[in-house]
Structures are given as structure tokens and as C-alpha cells.
């Protein structure tokens, strides 16, 4: 073998081996500190400074910050985190960099407003974000709709919700549904019916698969909540009539003259506990249900809850 070939061979082998060794060491180091600190730090928190530093390429920076917000929320949501401290600042930076990035308002609100673990539990920040979006995109009726949605769903503020829907109904080409919603809010109509209308409208007015899935989950949970409430009322009636609790679901069904054993949207029969409580058989199937959950029930965390 010529000396030059020998050098090439040794240098090539060294290159491959060192690359493999450095990757192995890095992998072991990552195992020592599973949660990198980078995700939890905002080196620059001022939207104005970041906008200046982007040298006019703020559209690309907005996309980068939006992706970071999605990743941050997705990661923490996946592990049932209890806090989302960086979410609001990330969304604020994103929308200041590109005030017309509508997706950041629409999804951002649904990330911020719901209570943990489904969201950050910051409806006030969601409202601020939406008002900023409306200020910059006054002709987009969906933003008014989302604003009203937060007021109704998270804050139960019917007056503000009605105002938001009313404002949106005046926008050119607004969906006629906004006028109906404004009236509905003003009348404080039946809670389930209104919520069902809102989620159905959300389902119909979006092209996004994830929003559609989310709406379907909420509609399923609404049906469960309503079923549980009706069955619980039936148990109370039974108790008032007979002076005791029904011994089984079959006895309750017979006493109430129901068509058959009531089942949840997945086809599982509801459970009647000896204490007279109606419960869902598999609570994890309905993450948004608020009724019929066993006492002390917590969603099963995949790993451990982030704080």
C-alpha cells in the first residue's frame, strides 16, 4: 500500500470512528439531563427587539416563533403539564412579528384559554391576544367568533360573549351564525344547547383536521355530560319516590321507562355506583367530560406531569 493510500485509510477510519464516538457520548449526556433547558428559556422576550433584530425578515421569524409555540405547547400538553409560562410570550412575539398570521390567533387562543391540562388556563391572555388580532385584522369574523367563544366557554361571561358575536356579525361577509349566537348569549339559553351550537359551528367552519377532531371530542363530552345529568336526575326522582337508591341500572331503566340501558358515545353502558352516582365506564375516552368522573379521577399521565 502506498503511503498516501495508507494516510487516506487511517484518516477516513479516524473520521468515522470519532463521529460515532462523539455521537455516542452526546447521546449519553442527553440521558443525564433528559429535559434540555433551551425550551424553557426566552433569551429575547421583547417583541419589538426581535422585530428590529430580524432586519425586515419578520415573516420568517414569525413562522419560527409560531413553530416554537406549537412545539412548546405540544410537548407540555403531551406530558399533562400544569403550567405553560412561555406560551403567552411566544404567541405575543409571533403576532407582533406578523400581525396577519391568523393561525397564531385561532390556535393560540385554544392553547391559552382552556384549563390545564388541556390548555394554559389563561383566558385573559387569550382575550388580549384575540383583541390584538381583531385590531390588526378587523375584517376577519372568525376572530370575533373565537373571542366570544372564550368569553362563553372559559369565563361564562354571557354579556361579553354576546358583544363579541355582535361585533363580528357586522363584519362584511360574516357568517350569519354570529347573529344567532349573539341573540343566544343575550337570552342565556340552555347551556348544553348553546355549547353544542358553538362546537358544531367550529367543526363546520374549519378545514383543519386537528380543530375538527377537537370539536368532535367536545361534542362527545357534551353528550356524556348531558346524559349523566339526566340519569342523575332520574336517580334523585327514584329516591324521592321509593325512599331508597336503585339497586341496579336495570331497575332505574325500568322505573324511568327508558328504551334500553343508556350507553356513552362509545357504546359502553353508564355505571351506577352503590352510592347512587352515575359514572362513565372508561373516563379516559372522554377527556373533556366534566360529569360522571370517578371521585379523585385524574387523566392517566403518559410519563410524569411537568410542573
Partner 1 sequence: MNTRIAHIASNTFREAVRDRVLYNLIAFALLLSGAAILVGQISIEIEKLVVINLGLTAVSLFGVVIAIFIGIGLVSKEIEKRTLYTVLSRPVRRWEFIVGKFFGLAGTLVVNTFFMAVGVFGALFYVSHKFVRADALILVALYFIILEFLIICALALLFSSFSSPLLSAVFAFSLFVIGCFADDLRNFAGMAHGFSRWLATGAAYLVPNFSAFNVITSIAHEQPVAGQLILQNTLYALFYATMALSGAVLIFEHRDLK
- Binding site residues, partner 1, CB under 8 A: 52, 55-60, 62-63, 66-67, 70-71, 98, 100-101, 103, 107, 208, 210
* Least Cβ distance, residue 91 to partner 1 (angstroms): 12
Cα separation, 123 vs 155, in Å, equals 7
My answer on whether omega of the bond before 178 falls inside 30° of 0, hence cis, is: no
Residue (of 287, 269, 271) closest to 222 by Cα position: 287
* Least Cβ distance, residue 271 to partner 1 (angstroms): 37
CA 251 to each of CA 193, 225, 234, 279: distance values in angstroms, whole numbers, following the listed order: 29, 22, 11, 16
Residue (of 114, 116, 90, 107) closest to 142 by Cα position: 107
Q: Which residue has the cell 370539536?
A: 215
* Least Cβ distance, residue 151 to partner 1 (angstroms): 24
DSSP string, 20-38: HHHHHHHHHHHHHSSS-SG
> Burial of 284 by CB count in 10 Å (0-12 exposed, 13-18 middle, 19+ buried)?
exposed
Give residues with Cβ within 8 angstroms of 152, minimum separation 6. 158, 161, 185, 194, 195, 198
Instruction: Tell me phi and psi for residue 306, to 5 degrees.
Output: -80, 145
* Least Cβ distance, residue 207 to partner 1 (angstroms): 9
Q: Which is nearer to partner 1, 98 or 264 (CB)?
A: 98
Cα separation, 246 vs 231, in Å, equals 12
> Burial of 5 by CB count in 10 Å (0-12 exposed, 13-18 middle, 19+ buried)?
exposed
Is residue 291 within 8 A of residue 223, CB to CB? The reply is no
Q: Which is nearer to partner 1, 26 or 60 (CB)?
A: 60
Q: Which is nearer to partner 1, 74 or 287 (CB)?
A: 74
Amino acid at each position: 500500500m502506498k503511503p498516501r493510500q495508507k494516510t487516506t485509510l487511517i484518516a477516513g477510519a479516524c473520521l468515522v470512528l470519532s463521529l460515532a464516538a462523539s455521537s455516542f457520548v452526546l447521546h449519553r449526556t442527553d440521558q443525564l439531563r433528559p429535559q434540555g433547558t433551551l425550551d424553557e428559556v426566552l433569551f429575547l422576550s421583547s417583541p419589538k427587539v426581535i422585530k428590529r433584530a430580524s432586519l425586515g425578515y419578520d415573516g420568517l421569524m414569525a413562522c419560527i416563533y409560531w413553530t416554537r409555540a406549537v412545539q412548546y405547547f405540544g410537548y407540555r400538553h403531551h406530558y399533562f403539564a400544569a403550567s405553560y409560562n412561555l406560551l403567552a410570550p411566544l404567541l405575543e412575539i409571533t403576532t407582533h412579528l406578523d400581525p396577519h398570521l391568523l393561525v397564531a390567533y385561532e390556535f393560540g387562543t385554544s392553547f391559552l384559554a382552556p384549563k390545564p391540562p388541556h390548555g394554559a388556563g389563561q383566558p385573559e391572555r387569550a382575550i388580549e391576544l384575540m383583541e390584538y388580532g381583531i385590531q390588526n385584522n378587523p375584517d376577519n369574523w372568525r376572530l370575533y367568533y373565537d373571542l366570544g367563544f372564550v368569553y362563553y366557554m372559559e369565563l361564562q361571561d354571557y354579556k361579553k360573549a354576546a358583544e363579541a358575536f355582535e361585533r363580528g356579525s357586522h363584519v362584511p361577509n360574516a357568517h350569519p351564525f354570529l347573529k344567532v349566537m349573539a341573540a343566544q348569549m343575550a337570552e342565556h339559553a340552555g347551556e348544553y344547547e348553546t355549547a353544542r351550537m358553538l362546537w358544531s359551528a367550529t367543526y363546520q367552519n374549519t378545514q383543519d383536521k386537528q380543530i375538527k377532531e377537537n370539536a368532535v371530542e367536545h361534542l362527545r363530552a357534551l353528550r356524556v355530560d348531558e346524559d349523566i345529568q339526566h340519569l342523575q336526575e332520574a336517580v334523585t326522582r327514584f329516591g324521592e319516590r321509593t325512599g331508597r337508591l336503585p339497586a341496579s341500572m336495570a331497575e332505574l331503566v325500568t322505573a324511568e321507562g327508558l328504551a334500553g340501558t343508556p350507553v356513552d358515545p362509545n357504546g359502553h353502558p353508564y355505571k351506577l355506583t352503590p352510592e347512587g352516582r352515575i359514572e362513565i365506564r372508561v373516563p379516559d375516552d372522554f377527556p373533556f367530560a366534566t360529569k360522571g368522573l370517578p371521585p379523585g379521577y385524574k387523566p392517566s399521565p403518559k410519563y410524569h406531569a411537568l410542573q
